[in-house]
Amino acid sequence: MSRFAATHSVLTEEDRAVLAGMTGLTSDSRAVTKGFLFGAFPGSTADGRSFIAAAIEAGARYILAPKGTRLPDDVSGDALGEVRLIEDDNPRLRFSVLASHFYSRRPSTICAVTGTNGKTSSANFAGQIWTLLDRPAASMGTLGIVTAKRHTAGSHTTLPSDVLYKELQILADEGIDHLAMEASSHGLHQYRLHGLDIAAAAFTNLTRDHLDYHPDMEDYFNAKAMLFHELLRADGCAVINADDAYGVRLAESLRNEAVRVWTFGRNGSELRLIEQEPLATGQKLTIEILGERFDVVLPLAGVFQAMNVLCAIGLVMGSTPSLTAAQVVAVLPSLTSVPGRMQTIAGHPKLAGIIVDYAHTPDALETVLKALRNHVDTALGGRLVCLFGCGGNRDKGKRPIMGEIATRLADRVIVTDDNPRHEDATQIRAEILAASKGAQEIADRRAAIRAAVSSLEDGDVLVIAGKGHEQGQTIAGVTFPFDDTEEARQAIAALQERSVI
């Protein structure tokens, strides 16, 4: 049992009465129906307390809100008379606890991974490993919910508490007993996972991101650390990147606690990367797992993917002690790439490589470009081409940093739009270009992809970075259908048609 669960597993009489009296719960006033509990929380873009009247009119029976909240006067008398206001110092936390009891069934083994980069791949690989070893498993996060039988797209890295626990109950009812999920800093900071017992928790790395939400890197790190200090079971396993300075710090903070601490990476103790050799179709690794050495070929490009696989191995073995290292290693050659993560788009008439990747932070972009440099055929005069942009209404400070990284590591750079949202896209590109000497600017992302693909020659490698699996482009607050992989395929098809003519 986690330290959090140990102190919150016994419900108060008030909570029991609320659970018995409510028909459901939500923090979205539009989803309220008769008998619901409505969580009215202040947020970074909206304040749920502004929607209390709407929730009551829709039939809410309970309103859970911060202390000092008052029910609105502009509600019909009959509706208001049936409503009970519950004030709490930490309403988000209490909401999560209530959700965890209302939807009480869930997979018996739940693991979570946090960090700036690598969460999606690590969680997905863990799900794949369990599935390949005949354990009914799922992964949950940025890509949505993935099982052997279905893939449900998602909109959050970590779902809101009410939605999360409902989905966990659905998975349990489908027979899923192993789950690897992503834990975002937002989700942890907002207590969305509180109420879970985490069997194994992983930390991939910490680099600049989300500083539009967190005031500084220290706050960002502390949010990530909540997974280990509050949600990880007392007898659980912490799987931590030993090649990351924040990872080393986190591991040290856990040394005096009961949890097992396994470190991974080139400096890892329990999960160590000894050698890595790039191959045309992936990479050959020599790894050490709990003292046993193995050679394995992964059908995945980039040393960072090797790190994600080691992280996944730690989650699987740290939470499923019946599995041996040999069993796990035997299925690694069968792993498949995660959509939008180093995803290869084949078919270019000149056999140039095209990769779509979600890299949208400075560290991720640098990591991807360094990994793909090894796949450029310099004997043919090949070039590494990078196409990327930066999102609007997000951390502005990373824009020139990413511009500098791209022009330093790639031979050709195209700066384009990437979800400008409510910001002026021209200004976003200008902030990138200020540190991108020699980069080409093509505002329209579709046109930029067409131009990049049509210019490729033998030996070239193009990385289309930033959006990965995303299915839309948000401009002026409106989201239009857009898929980098599909756009790349259409650009290739246009070239093929031209070559036939």
**What residue segments make up the domains of the chain, in order of their start?**
3-89, 103-334, 343-500
What is the residue-averaged pLDDT of the chain? 92
5-36 pLDDT tens trace: 655 566 889 999 999 999 999 999 999 999 99
464-496 pLDDT tens trace: 999 988 889 999 989 999 999 999 999 999 998
Which CATH architecture does the domain made up of 3-89 adopt? 3-Layer(aba) Sandwich (3.40)
**Residue 3 pLDDT level (bands cut at 50, 70, 90):** low
Please give the C-alpha separations between residue 39 and each of 48, 101, 326, in angstroms, as whole numbers.
7, 15, 47
Q: Work out the percent of the chain whose per-residue pLDDT is above 90.
A: 77
At 461 the pLDDT is 94
At 77 the pLDDT is 53
Please give the C-alpha separations between residue 458 and each of 311, 331, 384, 491, in angstroms, as whole numbers.
35, 34, 11, 17
CATH topology classification for 103-334: UDP-N-acetylmuramoyl-L-alanine:D-glutamate ligase (3.40.1190)
Answer yes or no: pTM beyond 0.85.
Answer: no
Orientation angle between helical segments 362-373 and 303-319, nearest 10 degrees? 110
Q: Which of 183-187, 238-242, 314-318, 429-433 has the lowest mean pLDDT?
A: 183-187
| Residue of 95 and 500 predicted with greater confidence | 95
User: Measured in Å, how far apart are the chain's first and last C-alpha atoms?
Assistant: 67
- One DSSP character per residue, 137-151 reads EEEEETTEEEESS-E
At 43 the pLDDT is 79
Asked whether residue 171 carries a pLDDT value surpassing 90, the answer given is yes
At 341 the pLDDT is 82
How many other C-beta atoms are found inside a 10 Å radius of the C-beta of residue 457? Answer: 14
At 383 the pLDDT is 96
Comparing C-alpha atoms, which of 366, 348, 336, 334 is closest to residue 465? 366
| Coil vs helix vs strand at 274 | strand
103-334 and 3-89 share a CATH fold: no
CATH topology classification for 343-500: Protein-Tyrosine Phosphatase; Chain A (3.90.190)
- Strands, E, within 129-217: which ranges? 137-141, 144-147, 151-152, 178-182, 198-203
Distance, CA of 86 to CA of 69 (rounded, Å): 9
Tokens 């890509």 appear where?
A: 143
| Residue of 204 and 477 predicted with greater confidence | 204
- Strands, E, within 98-194: which ranges? 109-114, 137-141, 144-147, 151-152, 178-182
Calculate the CA dihedral of residues 31, 32, 37, 43 and round it to 10 degrees: 50
Residue pair 347/486 in contact by the 8 Å Cβ criterion: no
Distance, CA of 29 to CA of 287 (rounded, Å): 51
| Residue of 393 and 158 predicted with greater confidence | 393
Q: Which of 7-11, 200-204, 421-425 has the lowest mean pLDDT?
A: 7-11
Burial class (CB in 10 A: 0-12, 13-18, 19+), 269: middle
**Residue 79 pLDDT level (bands cut at 50, 70, 90):** low
Residue pair 491/450 in contact by the 8 Å Cβ criterion: yes
Q: Average pLDDT of 143-169?
A: 89
Asked whether residue 210 carries a pLDDT value surpassing 70, the answer given is no
